[in-house]
Amino acid sequence: MDLTPLDLQTIEEKGAWLVHNGRSNMNNGVGRAPVDRFPPRSCLGTDGLDGNMFGELRTTFYRGNETGRGPLGFHGAERFWIGGYQLAREIFGEPFGSLDAGAPADFVIGCEDQKQPLHRGNWLGLLLFGMQPRLIQEVWVDGAPRYRRGDPAPYDGKACRAAAQRIWDRMANL
């Protein structure tokens, strides 16, 4: 990874977001990112590798700890995961990651045979060590069911292209 301390300082000063694509970086052999020095406005991405954000979080966590209990830890993993919601809030102007009235009702329902109850104190551990895309039973977007396990994956090409155009337009104006 070719980010110097000055690069990281400039990213932070400009208020830019840094998106870490750890598995893609590993696949492409471009080096190991200094995730412990990333600015607060950081999150995870997949760089199109496979879209498995659970795997991305898990790999980033493990890589951060492979030389001993390392720089990422639970606090860092939580910061990277929550950062994704914060970035989406900025881009789309919606309160993603919130259960407040008026927030988009986007959520997934996991496997019904989960042995441990989910609560505020264990959500990150369950994401890191238990959640896999294959365990998703349902996906809800804007309060409506969009996918149920066994259905073909939904794809709305027109909506996807429109969303991509909005993101590119917004990036061009930064």
Residues listed for the chain: 174
The β-bridge relationship of strands 18-20 and 42-44 is parallel
**Residue 35 pLDDT > 90, yes or no?**
no
DSSP secondary structure, 115-165, as one string: SS---TTTHHHHHHHT--GGG--EEEETTEEEEETTSPPP--HHHHHHHHH
Residue 126 phi, psi dihedral angles, 5° rounding:
-65, -40
**Residue 151 pLDDT > 70, yes or no?**
yes
- pLDDT tier, 13 (very low <50, low <70, confident <90, very high otherwise): very high
Q: Which residue has the higher pLDDT, 2 or 28?
A: 28
pLDDT computed for residue 95 by the predictor: 85
pLDDT computed for residue 71 by the predictor: 59
**Residue 114 pLDDT > 80, yes or no?**
no
Contact yes or no for 164/139 (Cβ under 8 A): no
Domain boundaries, the chain: 5-172
- As given in the structure block, the two tokens for residue 33 are 């990112």
pLDDT computed for residue 15 by the predictor: 92
**CA trace torsion 2, 40, 139, 149 (10° rounding):** 50
- As given in the structure block, the two tokens for residue 99 are 């259960």
**Nearest CA-CA partner of 80 in 60, 62, 97:** 60
Which residue is it, tokens 């917004």?
Answer: 170
pLDDT computed for residue 112 by the predictor: 66
pTM of the model: 0.74
Q: Write down the mean pLDDT value for the chain.
A: 82
Share of the chain above pLDDT 70, in %: 91
* Cα 102–Cα 163–Cα 30 angle in degrees, nearest 5: 110
Q: How far is CA 89 from CA 3, 30, 92, in A?
A: 26, 30, 5
68 DSSP 8-state letter: B
Residues 96-114 have a mean pLDDT of: 77
pLDDT computed for residue 41 by the predictor: 92
**Per-residue pLDDT reduced to its tens digit, 51-103:** 888 888 888 888 877 776 665 677 778 888 889 889 988 888 888 877 788 88
pLDDT computed for residue 6 by the predictor: 93
